[in-house]
Structure 1
Amino acid sequence: MEDFLDACQAAVKGNEPKSLAAKMGVPHVGLLQRANPDNEAHHLTVEHLFGILLHTGDMRPLITLAGEFGFDLVAKTAPKPQELTKSMISVSKEFADLTIAVHEALKDGHVCQFDKSTIRREIGHIRETLDVMDESVKAA
């Protein structure tokens, strides 16, 4: 917990606290007091933390919090959008591949580990093409 609170304070102090406080709509001194882990009278709220992350882009508090629970925080990169028709064709193809994989797995009435792996891989491909489709719709 101490590392997380230190990371919150570092994010505030390292990102122009007066400007940050104005963007968050809180008093400058109040933000510094709340971010100070040694000040037991004031604490950051979830809304304050969200404002710090949003307005600074400084993810140290979030990275530290995730780390304290055994997770790694990895930035997600958006896929490159495509022309909508091409994107729709890709999604349709992946759904067809999934359909074929499921039919093949069910042929003998037993779904083995290899079949499960193949089906899960096809599901992953569908997710990827749906992410591209989502970006394509946003860009249209």
Structure 2
Amino acid sequence: MEDFLRACQAAVLDNEAKALAAKMGVPHVGLLQRANPDNEAHHLTIEHLFGVLLHTGDMRPLAALADAFGFSLVARATPQPQALTASLINVGKEVADLTIAVHSALEDNHVSSFEKAQIKVEIDHVRQSLDVMAASVKAA
């Protein structure tokens, strides 16, 4: 908990607390008091934490919280949108590749570990192409 609270304070102090407070719509001194883990009279609310994360992009508090529970925080790569027709064609191609991999694996009525690995690769390709499709729809 201490690491999380210190990370919250560092995120406020290292990101121009006065400008951050203005963006969040809270008094500068109030934000500093709330972010100070040694001040027992004031605490950051979840709304304040969300504002700090949103306006600074500083994910140290979130990373410290994840770490406290045994998780790692890893940023997702955002897929680049394409024209809808291009992304649809790519999804179709990846689904076809997956279908071929499954049919090939089933030809001898035994799915080897290599074939399983190949099918998993093709499933990942389908997921990635669907992520691009979702980004393309969102951008359209």
For 2:31, the equivalent position in structure 1 comes to 31
2:90 is the alignment partner of 1:67 = no
User: What is the distance in 1 between the residues matched to 2:47 and 2:121?
Assistant: 39
Query: In terms of mean alpha carbon deviation, does 50-59 or 26-35 score higher?
Result: 26-35
User: What is the distance in 1 between the residues matched to 2:46 and 2:112?
Assistant: 46
Query: In terms of mean alpha carbon deviation, does 65-74 or 85-94 score higher?
Result: 65-74
Aligned-residue offset at 1:63: 2.3
For 2:77, the equivalent position in structure 1 comes to 77
User: What is the distance in 1 between the residues matched to 2:45 and 2:113?
Assistant: 47
User: What is the distance in 1 between the residues matched to 2:49 and 2:112?
Assistant: 47
The runs of 5 or more residues in structure 1 that have no matched partner are none
For 1:125, the equivalent position in structure 2 comes to 125
Aligned-residue offset at 1:84: 1.9
Q: Tell me, what secondary structure is at the counterpart of 1:110?
A: coil
> Which residue identity lines up with residue 17 of structure 1 in the other structure?
A
CA deviations over 1:100-125 (Å, ceiling 9, x no partner): 22222233333332222111111100
> How many correspondences in the alignment?
140
The runs of 5 or more residues in structure 2 that have no matched partner are none
Aligned-residue offset at 1:94: 0.5
Aligned-residue offset at 1:132: 1.7
Aligned-residue offset at 1:7: 1.1
Identity %: 73
Q: Tell me, what secondary structure is at the counterpart of 2:71?
A: coil
For 1:3, the equivalent position in structure 2 comes to 3
2:138 is the alignment partner of 1:107 = no
User: What is the distance in 2 between the residues matched to 1:51 and 1:80?
Assistant: 27
For 1:87, the equivalent position in structure 2 comes to 87
Aligned-residue offset at 1:91: 0.4
Alignment TM-score, normalising by the size of structure 1? 0.85
Query: In terms of mean alpha carbon deviation, does 84-93 or 98-107 score higher?
Result: 98-107
Query: In terms of mean alpha carbon deviation, does 29-38 or 118-127 score higher?
Result: 29-38
CA RMSD, Structure 1 to Structure 2 (Å): 1.9
